[in-house]
Amino acid sequence: MRRGLENTVFKPVPSRSETKNDTTTRVAREIIDSQKAEMNAKMARLREERLRREATDEKPPIAAKPRGRMPSKRS
């Protein structure tokens, strides 16, 4: 019987503002987590597409630019 009293009598009850803050925090975290999941899915899809494109496309070698004379700096 003593156990039953400890669990009910001394259980902390959050105030009304704490309850609202907890609800706001929970909802905000759910939104952030869903956005993060969407972003990770999009990044994975784009990464796979880029790797597939890079594997099939051949890039021509980049020609070195001719280096000319540097203009003199006048002060």
**Three-state SS across 5-56?**
HHHHHCCCCCCHHHHHHHHHHHHHHHHHHHHHHHHHHHHHHHHHHHHHHHHH
Assess if residue 21 is contained within a domain. no
* Domain of residue 41, residue span: 29-54
pLDDT band at 2 (very low <50, low <70, confident <90, very high): low
Q: What is the pLDDT of residues 14-65, one digit of tens each?
A: 788 888 999 999 999 999 999 999 999 999 999 999 999 988 887 767 777 7
Taking a C-beta distance cutoff of 8 angstroms, is the pair 14, 22 a contact? Answer: yes
Total number of domains constituting the chain: 1
Alpha-carbon dihedral angle through residues 71, 73, 74, 75, given to the nearest 10 degrees: 160
pLDDT of res. 65:
78
Assess if residue 10 is contained within a domain. no
Assess if residue 34 is contained within a domain. yes
